[in-house]
A and B are shown apart, each in its own frame.
Chain A
Amino acid sequence: MTTPAIPEGVKRCSTRKFAIWLAVVGAVLLWGVYAMFLVWYKGLNQTGMNDAYGFALWIWADLAVIALGGGAFFSGFLTYIIGKKELKNIINYAVIIGFICYSSALLILALDIGQPLRGWFIFWHANVHSMLTEVAFCLSVYFGVLTIEFIPVVLENPKLDRVPFLHHLSHNLHEVMAVFAATGVFLSFFHQGSLGGVAGVLYGRPFSFREGLLIWPWTFFLFTWSAAAVGPCFTVMVTWLTEKVTGKKLVKQEVFQLLGKISGWMLLTYMIAKIADTWYWAVVTAPSKGFALMDFYTNNPVYGIWILIAELVVCGLVPAFILISRKGRENNTLLLTAMILAVIGICINRWVMVLQVMAAPLLPFQEWYMYMPTWQEVATTILPVAYGIILISLAHRYLPVFPQEKELNPGN
């Protein structure tokens, strides 16, 4: 079916089918909105958090989506600054995914504060020593940059493109996009890093505390590097999922392979740094605070040494080696498996840097603290996923997101 609002030369499902799809995802979204209302109206007592777990599922979700949304800034860097022209075939989608991730993170942050109406205090009464202040500033400004990057994609909708002003605006924005891409890279370096710094500066928490360079703990650099490494994997993963749902090939395999190769080398170098960091922490930092490595991985029902092995080996080194080998990249199943593993690995890393930090006891007469999220927390964490699916569905239907779609689907 073709309507003037749908890009020329591509085929989309019927309006009825699309409406049913939106209704199903919309129902999940409404469930999340209801939970969100409960949290705002009744307060954070609607969550499973307590005084031991000041940070929990939401902060993990924030850290995870921002890392995964890192595909936007890193793909932008590769496309506009380094000049990898092939990536122009996926950059629009990377921007849309980044936009979804960052808007979701801001929404979750708005939920996660006890006095939401005072959220602006973080800007007004800013404490320059706090990593969270740096996060708030860089995150907000970068979201603005992402919005600017998203606008020309929206303006390419056939109906909007017919308006001369919008057509020229879109054209001119495309011309100067390298400036915004560079700004995005600069801002991302700091907010990805400061998110790592949030846990790394906690010198009262030996599990997360790290030494560092000047005011920045090593986690600052590790978070930035890992987001750049795994963000593109998430972009490819979502593109692949979109291809499966729509039943169309949208991006050439070479593009996936190129991103896979870059991600592979980034991931491998990240893993070398991460393993060195973990080793130093295990033999120097933690013992200086009276803790042996296994103190953090025993005497509790969840956090065994398996989680460290899963993060560093299964979801770290293994995907890195697959992605840096030509054979690994040329095998679609292996390529995708490696990318999914890398995405899981980064989610595990963000999880332990939030949840396990809170769980580990510090005083010898205290036990491990366990936490179970409530349905309100789960629903509000799924809410951004539903919102993301809806935005992607609309973008795919009405915007020319994939330049190679026509070429790859000639029968349409």
Chain B
Amino acid sequence: MTKQAQHTKTKRYGMVIDLDRCTGCGACMVGCYAENNVPFRKDETDKMLSLNWLRVFKVDNGKPFPDTEVCYIPKPCMQCDGRHMEGHSPCVSVCPAVATDYDEPTGVVSQIYTRCFGCRYCMAACPYHARKFNWWDPVWPADMEKYLNPDVSVRMRGVVEKCSFCYHRYQKARDKAYVEGRDEIAENEYQPACAEACPTRAITFGDLHNPEHEVYELSRSKKAFRLLEKLNTNPKVYYLTSKSWVRRKADNYLEGESPADRKPAHKAETASH
């Protein structure tokens, strides 16, 4: 029992994505699809009907050649802490059946597929479009069912799903640590599939509360920002960029405002707390 209690020390798992490093290769998306048994259809033209827990967006600076610059923005679920950092993320507080929940020990926003009845209120609430609906039952190409990840349940038609920061990997790492008599899991023991798949190491993952984890310092960098910070959703996904035009694409600004007027990401979070 004592060990169990120690395992529930509050963590705040988060991600820092260095946009200056991202090449837009899409390996993170592929890794995510394979790891989480995310189904796909023959025709994936309409991206608003696609199931993707992580989607890479391509943005440019709007200037003509030769001044054109391009940036790729991988966008998983932002795992928001909510307005007052108490776990009432936009989606969690609206779900009428508690099918989505905020895990206090880790800060991960979960989705309980067998409890979701598909009202889609969470999708309406999420400003990041991180939540995806199963418009169809999953159909896997021949023999592919044999390659599904046994640690992740497949979802049925009519329910919402989303990025879980590969929570099943956290559970595995925690179980392993428990068996080995350890209280804590090491930084490299719990890494989501997208972070592992990234060939340029643009995605860094860890406990934002732990100064020994790389994300701790990275999230406090002057280059760090989050998407739509003004909404006070307090995401746990941070981005890094050295380009001011990219920074401007991350939020909405009134005429005369600029990202430079904003507090650094981690200070904004403290203020809202």
Q: Is B251 within 8 A of A364, CB to CB?
A: yes
Contacts of A243 in B (CB 8 A): none
Return the chain B residue nearest A59 by Cβ.
B124
A53 to B48, CA, bound (A): 9
Q: Is A373 an interface residue (CB 8 A)?
A: no
Q: Is B117 within 8 A of A114, CB to CB?
A: yes
Return the chain A residue nearest B251 by Cβ.
A290
A160 to B33, CA, bound (A): 63
**In the complex where A51-B131, A52-B129 touch, is A114 in contact with B118 (Cβ < 8 A)?**
yes
Q: Is A292 within 8 A of B254, CB to CB?
A: yes
**In the complex where A44-B158, A45-B135, A125-B97 touch, is A204 in contact with B127 (Cβ < 8 A)?**
yes
A45 to B249, CA, bound (A): 32
A116 to B232, CA, bound (A): 34
A257 to B52, CA, bound (A): 57
Specify which of A119, A129, A292 lies most central, judged by the most chain B CB atoms within 10 Å of its CB. A129
**In the complex where A51-B49, A114-B133, A205-B125 touch, is A122 in contact with B88 (Cβ < 8 A)?**
no
Q: Is A362 within 8 A of B136, CB to CB?
A: no
Q: Which of B105-136 contact A (CB under 8 A)?
A: 115-129, 131-136
Contacts of A265 in B (CB 8 A): none
Specify which of A201, A202, A363 lies most central, judged by the most chain B CB atoms within 10 Å of its CB. A363
Specify which of A201, A203, A206 lies most central, judged by the most chain B CB atoms within 10 Å of its CB. A203
Q: Is B139 an interface residue (CB 8 A)?
A: no
Which of B59, B134, B159 is the one whose CB lies under 8 Å from A365?
B59
A206 to B90, CA, bound (A): 12
Return the chain A residue nearest B229 by Cβ.
A290
Instruction: Flag the segment in A5-13, A73-81, A131-139, A229-237 that touches B.
Output: A131-139
- Smallest Cβ distance from A352 to chain B, in angstroms? 14
Q: Is B227 within 8 A of A44, CB to CB?
A: no
Q: Is A198 an interface residue (CB 8 A)?
A: yes
Q: Is A115 within 8 A of B121, CB to CB?
A: no
A129 to B96, CA, bound (A): 8
Which bucket holds chain B's interface residue count?
35 or more
Q: Which of A126-177 contact B (CB under 8 A)?
A: 126-127, 129-133, 136
- Smallest Cβ distance from A102 to chain B, in angstroms? 18
Q: Is B136 within 8 A of A45, CB to CB?
A: yes
Contacts of B48 in A (CB 8 A): 50-53, 369
Contacts of B160 in A (CB 8 A): 114
When A and B form their complex, what is the total count of cross-chain residue pairs whose Cβ atoms lie within 8 Å?
Answer: 163
A237 to B132, CA, bound (A): 41
- Smallest Cβ distance from B47 to chain A, in angstroms? 8
Return the chain A residue nearest B73 by Cβ.
A365
Q: Is A284 an interface residue (CB 8 A)?
A: no
Which of A43, A112, A290, A369 is the one whose CB lies under 8 Å from B157?
A43
Q: Which of A279-304 contact B (CB under 8 A)?
A: 287-292, 295
Contacts of A363 in B (CB 8 A): 128, 227-228, 249-250
A289 to B254, CA, bound (A): 9
Q: Is B25 an interface residue (CB 8 A)?
A: no
Interface of B is mostly: loop
Q: Is A44 within 8 A of B135, CB to CB?
A: yes
Return the chain B residue nearest A290 by Cβ.
B252
Q: Is B98 an interface residue (CB 8 A)?
A: yes
Q: Which of B246-264 contact A (CB under 8 A)?
A: 248-255, 257
Q: Is A222 an interface residue (CB 8 A)?
A: no
Q: Which of B48-98 contact A (CB under 8 A)?
A: 48-50, 57, 59, 73, 83, 88, 90, 93-98
Which of A113, A127, A365 is the one whose CB lies under 8 Å from B95?
A127
Q: Is A55 an interface residue (CB 8 A)?
A: yes
Which of A202, A288, A357, A365 is the one whose CB lies under 8 Å from B90?
A202
Q: Is A115 within 8 A of B116, CB to CB?
A: yes
- Smallest Cβ distance from A377 to chain B, in angstroms? 14
Contact with A along B233-254 (1 / 0, CB 8 A): 1000000000000001111111
Residue positions of A touching B, CB distance < 8 A: 43-45, 49-55, 112-116, 118-119, 121-122, 124-127, 129-133, 136, 198, 201-206, 287-292, 295, 357-358, 362-365, 369
- Can you list 20 pairs linking A and B with CB atoms under 8 Å apart? A43-B158, A44-B158, A45-B135, A50-B49, A51-B129, A52-B48, A54-B122, A54-B133, A112-B119, A114-B119, A115-B159, A118-B116, A126-B97, A131-B94, A203-B231, A204-B126, A290-B254, A362-B127, A363-B228, A364-B249
Nearest 9 CB-CB pairings of A with B:
A114-B118, A114-B158, A290-B252, A54-B120, A54-B123, A204-B127, A118-B117, A50-B48, A204-B90
Sample of 6 more A-B contacts, CB < 8 Å, known A113-B117, A204-B128: A118-B118, A122-B97, A125-B98, A127-B98, A203-B231, A362-B127
